[in-house]
Amino acid sequence: MEKITKRQMYTAMINYANDGKFVFDTDEGEVSITADEIVAFAENEIALLDKKAAKAKETAAKKKTESDAL
């Protein structure tokens, strides 16, 4: 199966909240998402959040060390 996009995952979450089924529609038909795919998606998103937070800390530290001309 091809990579599941964020849009597809969020659509599946909405469908789950409404119907109790983790599915999304494609041109080929309805696709079900497994628990393993949900876990992998969530772990990847957490890793991206951690990376973004680390980059923000790095940027903030760099700006703090730069002296202000005024």
Q: What is the pLDDT of residues 8-35, one digit of tens each?
A: 888 888 888 888 888 989 899 999 988 8
Q: What is the pTM of this model?
A: 0.68
**Residue 68 — pLDDT band, cuts 50, 70, 90?**
low
**Can you tell me the distance from the alpha carbon of 39 to that of 29, in angstroms, rounded to the nearest whole number?**
23
Q: Give the bridge partners for 30, in sequence order.
A: 25
Q: Are the beta carbons of 23 and 31 closer than 8 angstroms? A: yes
pLDDT score for 16: 87
Collapsing DSSP states into helix, strand and coil, what is residue 4?
A: coil
